[in-house]
Chain A
Amino acid sequence: MHRVTCSRCGTAVQVSKNSAAQTSIQWDVDSSACPLRAELSVGDSCPALSDSIRDAVLAGELEVQTSDL
């Protein structure tokens, strides 16, 4: 897992990706740390965090890699 910090609110979460379309996000802080969380339904990912994850991939900070489960 790689730590990605949301560029909007600064909340950091653990992220891994095994392909462009696959994403795994493990929060280790309370999700109420995300100011958008309250407005989103439980199943929705935060769009700002999703943007930050995409940026981390483009910047080469988050590597898309296979991992054995």
Chain B
Amino acid sequence: MTEVRMIEASAVSERFARGWHLLGLTREYDDGVPHSVEAFGTKLVIWKAASGELNVLDAYCRHMGGDLSQGSIQGENVACPFHSWRWGGDGKCKEIPYARRIPPRARTRAWQTLVVDGQLFVWHDPEGNPPPEDVTIPAIEGFDSGEWTDWVWDRTLVPSSHCREVIDNMVDMAHFYYIHKGLPTYFKNVFEGHVCTQYFSGTTHELAATGEPIEIGVAEDQPTVSDATYWGPSYLVDKLWTKYGDMTFETILITCHYPITNNSFMLNYGMIMKKNPDFDDATNDMIATKMLASIGSGFMEDVKIWKNKARIDNPLLCEEDGPVYQLRRWYEQFYVDVADIAPEMVQRFEFEIDTTKAVDFWQKELVEKAAAKKAAAEA
């Protein structure tokens, strides 16, 4: 009997990744009320204190379980809607208006926060350690220079997948053709330490369909050039150059997520665009908004795949696929204790794909489709 390949899938890890996770933009919390985020298997409360500091605590009050995110901001503290217990950003109960004294053990879980370029992050570590100094979120060069638009931002809930699915995309060269109407001509990954990079250059279905010869293996000067890096398990910074006709738009696209449960996550994505001096600010903002909407509809295609696909631990790969196993080995470092990080999870690994056959086949396919469409229109 011929042997058939079977899909293997272990149970989804109960554990959430160690690392910085973006919750939202700081401007979302300026409205004077506490906000809630369901994340890491629980609910968090985020509030901006009178001093301007953003604080994040477990949302469920340790008194009787009230939801602090339904309460109110009282100076520096958040007040529970149930009995008005007041909690500080350090996790300590600061005041119980109706009580003579605060119980000595009145302390809840405070989440270490980080604000970078208008983005709010929390640190998650199942071992409870603070972030190492070299594990941080890089600031964007010139973010405040006035050369960039403000953030355009959106998010979507992925209801029944582990966030490993979004990480897998880092090495998935061919899905850019089948899912995102792209046509990669150069594709390379590098993993090292807590950082994972994807170099991508390519063209689009529309341009390839013209039959104009496509340069293969060239990293620069393509209609799309992308240099994307995960800083830890969940925050991807993509320096992206997109050509439309004679114009090139330089953008920084953030794709990031936080786990809600171990089988659902919130995908956040946003961008800033280098302002084109030929346009006024409103036009630049409008272009950025449209570009993000187009990228967002691309993510919806990913989500559709994720909603319907099987979890697979033993993908069957061809030579034109990227290094899925090495990527997952890298990703695993965030799910084990620091003491258990194996050298091969963090040692440098570089992988460049040969796109020759793929580009040749895909362009032929697009040219044929365009010809068939034209013939049908003329018939």
Residues of A bordering B, CB below 8 Å: 18-28, 30-31, 42-43, 45, 66, 69
- Expressed in whole angstroms, the Cα–Cα distance for A24 and B154 within the complex equals 36
Check: B250 CB closer than 8 A to any chain A CB: no
Check: B325 CB closer than 8 A to any chain A CB: yes
Give the contacting residue for B350; candidates A24, A30, A66, A69; CB below 8 A.
A24
Check: B140 CB closer than 8 A to any chain A CB: no
A63 smallest CB distance to B (angstroms)? 15
A67 smallest CB distance to B (angstroms)? 8
Give the contacting residue for B349; candidates A18, A21, A26, A66; CB below 8 A.
A26
Residues of B bordering A, CB below 8 Å: 188, 190, 192, 195, 197-199, 216-217, 227, 229, 317-319, 321, 323, 325, 343-344, 347-356
**Does B352 lie within 8 Å of A23, measured CB to CB?**
yes
Q: A18 contacts which chain B residues (CB < 8 A)?
A: 319, 354
**Does A21 lie within 8 Å of B217, measured CB to CB?**
yes
**Does A21 lie within 8 Å of B356, measured CB to CB?**
yes
- Expressed in whole angstroms, the Cα–Cα distance for A64 and B195 within the complex equals 29
- Expressed in whole angstroms, the Cα–Cα distance for A62 and B198 within the complex equals 25
- Expressed in whole angstroms, the Cα–Cα distance for A25 and B317 within the complex equals 18
**Does A43 lie within 8 Å of B197, measured CB to CB?**
yes
**Does B317 lie within 8 Å of A23, measured CB to CB?**
no
**Does A21 lie within 8 Å of B355, measured CB to CB?**
yes
**Does B317 lie within 8 Å of A21, measured CB to CB?**
no
A25 smallest CB distance to B (angstroms)? 4
Give the contacting residue for A31; candidates B227, B229, B343, B348; CB below 8 A.
B348
Give the contacting residue for B352; candidates A22, A26, A30; CB below 8 A.
A22
**Does B350 lie within 8 Å of A25, measured CB to CB?**
yes
Q: Which residue of A lies closest to B190 (CB)?
A: A43
Query: 5 A-B residue contacts at CB 8 Å?
Result: A18-B354, A21-B356, A25-B348, A27-B349, A69-B318
- Expressed in whole angstroms, the Cα–Cα distance for A26 and B343 within the complex equals 12
Q: B347 contacts which chain A residues (CB < 8 A)?
A: 26-28, 30-31
Q: A23 contacts which chain B residues (CB < 8 A)?
A: 350-352
- Expressed in whole angstroms, the Cα–Cα distance for A43 and B188 within the complex equals 8
Q: Which residue of A lies closest to B196 (CB)?
A: A42
- Expressed in whole angstroms, the Cα–Cα distance for A45 and B351 within the complex equals 10
Q: B352 contacts which chain A residues (CB < 8 A)?
A: 21-24, 45
Q: A66 contacts which chain B residues (CB < 8 A)?
A: 319
Most B Cβ at <10 Å: residue of A19, A30, A43 = A43
B63 smallest CB distance to A (angstroms)? 47
Which 3 interchain pairs have the tightest Cβ spacing?
Answer: A21-B354, A27-B348, A22-B354
Q: Which residue of B lies closest to A46 (CB)?
A: B350
Known: A23-B350, A23-B351, A24-B349. 13 other contacts (CB 8 A): A18-B319, A19-B319, A19-B354, A19-B356, A21-B216, A21-B355, A24-B351, A26-B347, A27-B349, A42-B192, A43-B190, A66-B319, A69-B321
Q: Which residue of A lies closest to B347 (CB)?
A: A27
**Does B229 lie within 8 Å of A42, measured CB to CB?**
yes
Q: Which residue of B lies closest to A37 (CB)?
A: B348
Give the contacting residue for A42; candidates B195, B317, B353, B354; CB below 8 A.
B195
Give the contacting residue for B317; candidates A19, A26, A69; CB below 8 A.
A69
**Does A25 lie within 8 Å of B349, measured CB to CB?**
yes
- Expressed in whole angstroms, the Cα–Cα distance for A26 and B355 within the complex equals 21
Given known pairs A42-B197, A43-B197, the reply for A22 and B319 (CB within 8 Å) is yes
B64 smallest CB distance to A (angstroms)? 49
- Expressed in whole angstroms, the Cα–Cα distance for A25 and B352 within the complex equals 9
**Does B354 lie within 8 Å of A43, measured CB to CB?**
no
Give the contacting residue for A24; candidates B197, B198, B318, B323; CB below 8 A.
B323
- Expressed in whole angstroms, the Cα–Cα distance for A26 and B229 within the complex equals 19
